[in-house]
Amino acid sequence: MDTGDVIVQRSVDFDSRAEMLATSYARLQSAMLDLFKQNWSGIKAGTIPRRPQTGAGSAHRSRDKEAYVHLLTRGWDTPVSFLERRAKQTGLDKA
């Protein structure tokens, strides 16, 4: 579980109708790397203000995915829009 302070953060917008799990993951990883590179000198120097995370955080165990793996109809090529629709149908979008 990650309970450390937030150092830098930004939102990443994407069109879920055009994204697959693999492409959305790659975009998020790229954005994370860019954000890290842009702020490395301040992180290293300790000059970037930190703020505590809000909420209790989350923890994910490998066995937790068992309940959802059936939704990955095409593995990493499963469309994000498909998962959004299924979440709305099952009420998971409100969880």
Q: What is the pLDDT of residues 2-46, one digit of tens each?
A: 778 999 999 999 899 999 999 999 999 999 999 999 999 999 999
pLDDT at position 94 is 78
Average pLDDT over the chain reads 90
* Residues in the chain, overall count: 95
How many domains does the structure of the chain reveal? 1
Q: Would you say residue 13 lies in a domain?
A: no
- Give the Cα separation of 1 and 87 in Å (integer): 24
Q: Tell me the Cα Rg of the chain.
A: 17
Tell me the C-alpha distance between 31 and 52, whole Å.
22
Higher pLDDT, 67 or 58: 67
Q: Going by C-beta distance under 8 Å and a sequence separation of 6 or more, which residues neighbour residue 12?
A: 27, 28, 31
Domain membership of residue 42 (yes or no) is: yes
pTM score of the predicted model: 0.77
Q: Is position 57 within any domain?
A: yes
